[in-house]
Amino acid sequence: MPSPNEKLAESLDVLEALQQGNRRVFRSDDLSRVHRERLVENGFLQEVMKGWLISSSPDSEAGESTPWHASFWEFCGRYCDERFGEQWHLSPEQSLFLHGERTVIPDQLVVHSPKATNNDIKLLFGTTLYDLKVAEMPATGALTVRDGLRLFSPAAALVRVPESFFQLYPVETQVVMASLADVSDVLRFLLNGGHSAKAGYLAKAFRQTGRGDLADEILRAMKGAGYDVRESSPFEARHIHIFARLGRPAVPIVGRIEMLWDSMRGKVLAAFPKAPGLPADKEAYLRCVNEIYRTDAYHSLSIEGYSVTPALVERVRQGGWDPEHDSGDRRNRDALAARGYWQSFQLVKKEVERVIAGENATVLVRGVHNDWYRELFQPSVTAGLLEAGTLAGYRNIPVFLRGSRYVPPRWEAVRDAMPAFFNLLEKEPEPSVRAVLGHWLFGYIHPYPDGNGRMARFLMNVMLASGGYPWTVIRIRDRKSYLSALDRASIEMDIHPFANFIDHRVQWRLERHDLTFPAPMESLVFGRDLVLFYGQDGDAVVRCVISGEALDDHFQGGGKDKLEVFRANRQAIEQEVRRKYIAGDTEVDGSILIRSDDLPE
């Protein structure tokens, strides 16, 4: 009789065959009841609604939305095909969102069909599909099929959405307008529908975005057909400043990131302190970068879910990582990540040195960022945990962000987005804008299959260096507010929370905090196995604590008086406390806690 593992392997073989072509959505009757129930029970499939399943992962946490977001559009397309045949399409508003590379998973997707029943169908994680009954399908020429979804064409969608859509979503409408090489298709829908009012505000919108020739063509064509067209702006005055005056057709993802940069840079400047200028003492600046490495690596890797400690980070730095003779190092995912971070950090540090010497930061990063990425993952490739092709560079697969409704652009768009991204960085005169928008937009594009967060933080710190700002660490305890601020920028186009978050971290470093110990007043905290002492930062008194475990593990304190152990090793302990404090690695109340894992082995 087959074992449970053998039975599961048999079911997985069936699932693998169904998943050919990156398919993630299945009807219940695509599998036998036995295979279906076994795969659901073991976490490889998840039910969306009766009769429909999606691929999942056994290691997904309870309530994890990523499998659903990864399957959302495929599910909607297949469900509608199954139910309505070819008699369905998405709304003109959602069509414009997709043509304009707005990739956020909607809370409600509206599907139009003559076969619909005006029913709101509840799906996973608060999403719904509303089937809106319409009298008839639009003319065939108004629709297009993209990735299994029936959309209005860009021209048809621009004509069909109400004028209020232009006011509410000026970026999306402009992205689509900027992608049009001419207005022939737009005019066909305007003329056939007799839309003189729509012609007036579309003409004005084209003129405002630097394409007066297209505006004039709309006016001439409508006049030739006997319509009296009067131009009027569909955009509110407060949105006019976000117009990207491209004056040429633009790939949608390129138009989008250019417009977002233009709309956000002023808000970053308003939030950020003036750049100090390149440091006069370059050796001191680089010394600070070296000193902050252990703290930076620990927090940056921890944010990404690696279980690393400052002790592991320090062991890697000191050359204690030995995959040739230590099988644990060969297999340890966290140690491999720490080694990759160390290798990449060395390259980044070289670019920082060139930047503070006056070289162009963007030109340097454009040329070497793929090398940083390769160093991050080279140890994992060498150990056989990743395929060698991982090091090739930009992704050729879709990626999804855990816990976020934001979905990065299609992988096909990355090749257009990254040159445009670096062009924006190179044209931007303000280091603060390069740092904040560079970090956010790099993550927004998500060019690599993995490592994008670490890469974005590296890029941020090189751009900070170009203005003389200090290397800045994003702490693991700030992870929730950090990711929330990134989400606000990517989903709601609100850069304020992220700009303020980075500003707060940079301000701490600019204030040039230091910690001395003129009167530590050490004491034992009874019942908690802690030694409490005090440092001083100017007039401020800073509470410092070291755990008894740290004294036992690193200062031979086992069975000894903890105060005497502290006093005998006071200089080394105070050095570690000072290192954490200067990096801003404080507890919520501003104190410093030294745990065993904070100390090098």
CATH number of domain containing 580: 3.30.160.140
pLDDT tens, residue by residue, 15-41: 888 988 889 999 999 999 999 989 999
Q: Closest Cα to residue 72, out of 404, 457, 481, 515?
A: 404
Model pLDDT, residue 313: 67
Model pLDDT, residue 243: 43
For the cut 90, the answer to whether the pLDDT of residue 102 exceeds it is yes
Q: Is position 70 within any domain? A: no
Instruction: Give the whole-angstrom CA distance, residue 561 versus residue 557.
Output: 7
Q: Is position 504 within any domain? A: yes
User: What residue type is 289 in one-letter code?
Assistant: V
Q: Is position 69 within any domain? A: no
Instruction: Give the whole-angstrom CA distance, residue 36 versus residue 15.
Output: 9
Give yes or no: residues 171 and 141 share one domain: yes
For the cut 70, the answer to whether the pLDDT of residue 362 exceeds it is yes
Give yes or no: residues 504 and 556 share one domain: no
Pick the last residue of a domain from 203, 227, 250: 250
pLDDT tens, residue by residue, 164-213: 999 999 989 999 999 999 999 999 999 999 999 999 999 999 998 888 99
Give yes or no: residues 395 and 506 share one domain: yes
Model pLDDT, residue 422: 97
Query: Token digits for 15?
Result: 């699932």
Helix H, strand E, coil C: the string for 323-355 is CCCCHHHHHCHHHHHHHHHHHHHHHHHHHHHHH
Query: Token digits for 476?
Result: 């693991």
pLDDT tens, residue by residue, 231-282: 999 986 655 544 444 556 789 999 999 989 999 999 999 999 899 999 999 9
Q: Is position 75 within any domain? A: no
Least confident of 62-66, 309-313, 561-565, 567-571: 309-313
Mean pLDDT of 96-108: 95
Give yes or no: residues 94 and 242 share one domain: yes
Matching residue, tokens 């003492």:
281
Q: Is position 118 within any domain? A: yes
Instruction: Give the whole-angstrom CA distance, residue 439 versus residue 420.
Output: 15
Model pLDDT, residue 584: 86
Q: Which residue has the higher pLDDT, 317 or 227?
A: 227
pLDDT tens, residue by residue, 464-506: 999 999 999 999 989 999 999 999 999 999 999 999 999 999 9
Give yes or no: residues 484 and 378 share one domain: yes
Give yes or no: residues 296 and 263 share one domain: yes
Model pLDDT, residue 327: 57
Model pLDDT, residue 325: 57
**H or E segment to which residue 532 belongs:** strand 530-537
Is the CB of residue 334 less than 8 Å from the CB of residue 308?
yes
Contacts 24+ apart (CB under 8 A), 294-298: 294/579, 295/473, 295/579, 295/580, 295/583, 295/585, 296/345, 296/471, 296/473, 296/583, 297/338, 297/341, 297/342, 297/345, 298/476
Least confident of 238-242, 452-456, 522-526: 238-242
Q: Is position 342 within any domain? A: yes
Q: Residue 448: give its domain's CATH number.
A: 1.10.3290.10
The conformation of residue 478, written as its DSSP 8-state character, comes to G
Three-state DSSP state, 308: coil
The DSSP line for 195-261 is -HHHHHHHHHHHHHTT-HHHHHHHHHHHHHTT--------S-GGGGGG-----S---HHHHHHHHHH
Instruction: Give the whole-angstrom CA distance, residue 314 versus residue 297.
Output: 9
Model pLDDT, residue 369: 97
| Integer angstrom CA distances of residue 478 from 224, 481, 587, 598 | 62, 6, 11, 18
- Residue 363 has a CB neighbour count (10 Å cut-off) of 13
Give yes or no: residues 298 and 240 share one domain: no
The DSSP line for 93-125 is HHHHHHHTT--PPPSEEEEEETT---EEEE-GG
Pick the last residue of a domain from 250, 268, 292: 250
Q: Closest Cα to residue 180, out of 207, 208, 155?
A: 155
Give yes or no: residues 288 and 435 share one domain: yes
Model pLDDT, residue 242: 44
Give the predicted TM-score (pTM) of the model: 0.88
Domains of the chain: total: 4
CB-based contacts of 212: which residues, under 8 Å, 6+ apart?
206
Give yes or no: residues 477 and 530 share one domain: no
Mean pLDDT of 379-388: 88
Mean pLDDT of 393-422: 94
For the cut 90, the answer to whether the pLDDT of residue 13 exceeds it is no
Give yes or no: residues 233 and 285 share one domain: no
Pick the last residue of a domain from 488, 510, 532: 510
- Distance spanning both ends of the chain, measured CA to CA: 51
Q: Is position 72 within any domain? A: no
Strand-pairing partners, residue 540, are 537
- Residue 563 has a CB neighbour count (10 Å cut-off) of 14
Query: Token digits for 308?
Result: 């690393």
Across 487-496, 506-515, 520-529, which has the greatest mean pLDDT?
A: 487-496
pLDDT tens, residue by residue, 176-187: 999 999 999 999
Mean pLDDT of 561-574: 92
User: Angle formed by the axes of helices 282-303 and 310-317, to 10°?
Assistant: 130
Instruction: Give the whole-angstrom CA distance, residue 577 versus residue 427.
Output: 41
Model pLDDT, residue 316: 65
Model pLDDT, residue 244: 45
For the cut 70, the answer to whether the pLDDT of residue 522 exceeds it is yes
For the cut 70, the answer to whether the pLDDT of residue 154 exceeds it is yes
Least confident of 494-503, 567-576, 592-601: 592-601
Q: Is position 332 within any domain? A: yes
Give yes or no: residues 351 and 446 share one domain: yes
Model pLDDT, residue 305: 83
Average pLDDT, the chain: 90
Give yes or no: residues 132 and 184 share one domain: yes
Structural domain boundaries, residue 555: 523-598
